[in-house]
Amino acid sequence: MDTDIQQFATRFNDSLSAAPGAHFWLLRPLLTLLAAGEPVTVDQLAAAAGRPAEEVRQTLATMSDTEYDSDGRIIGYGITFNPTPHRYETGDRTFYTWCALDTLALPAFLGKTAHVTSPCHGTGEPVRLTVAPDEVTSVEPATAVVSLVTPDAPTSIRSSFCDQSHFFAGPDAARDWLAEHPGARILPVADAYEVGQSVVEQIVTADTPSGCC
C-alpha cells in the first residue's frame, strides 16, 4: 500500500470508528453467521461472541442500521439478504451488500471468493468484479473506480459511509457525483480493495469489551 492510500485508509478507519454503533467486536461474529445464509438470533450471536445475550441485545440496540426479519432475527449488517444494487455471489449463495467497499472487504474477512455485480452509479452500466480473499482478480470495465468518504461527524455506518460508497465505470462517470460531494474521493478498485483490507484488520483485531456496552 503506497503512502497516500495508507494515509487515506487511516483517516477512513478513524472516521468509521467514530460512527455511532461501530462495535467491531460484535460485527466479527455477526458477519460470519450471516454468511452462512440463515437469519441470526440474538442467542446465536451471543454464543458466537462469547458474551451474555442481554449485553449483545443492548449493543445491537445502538447499531441502528441492523436489519431484522418479522421474527426479530438479524438478516443484514454490511452483508444482507435484502436486495441492494450490490449483488454478491459466493459459493452457491447470493447475498447483497450495503456498498461497494463491502464487496471488496468481505471476501478477505470470510475467506471466500465472490462474484460482484453492481451498476455504475453515474450511468447504470454494469460493473463486474471477481474478488478473491487476497486480491481482485478481474474488473470490468477495467477503468472502474469506487467512491469513499471520511466524514468528520458520522451519524451511522450505513448512512454516513455505505450510502456514499458506489462503483463508477470510470472517473468521468463520477464527475457529477463528485461535484455534489466535494469531500469525497474516488479510488481505482485495486486501491479501494487495500482500504477494505484495513477495515477487515480493524474488525478482526477488535477487542471484546470486559463489561457491558
What gap in Å lies between CA 126 and CA 120, rounded to an integer? 6
What gap in Å lies between CA 87 and CA 100, rounded to an integer? 10
> Which residues pair with residue 94 across a beta bridge?
89
Nearest Cα residue to 80 out of 67, 70, 71: 67
What CA–CA distances, in Å, run from 179 to 50, 99, 164, 176, 192? 46, 20, 13, 5, 20
Beta-strand ranges (E) seen in 133-184 are: 135-140, 145-148, 167-168
* C-beta of residue 109 within 8 angstroms of C-beta of residue 97: no
* C-beta of residue 85 within 8 angstroms of C-beta of residue 118: yes
Q: Which residues have a catalytic role annotated?
A: 99, 102, 162
Q: Grid coordinates standing for 137?
A: 482478480
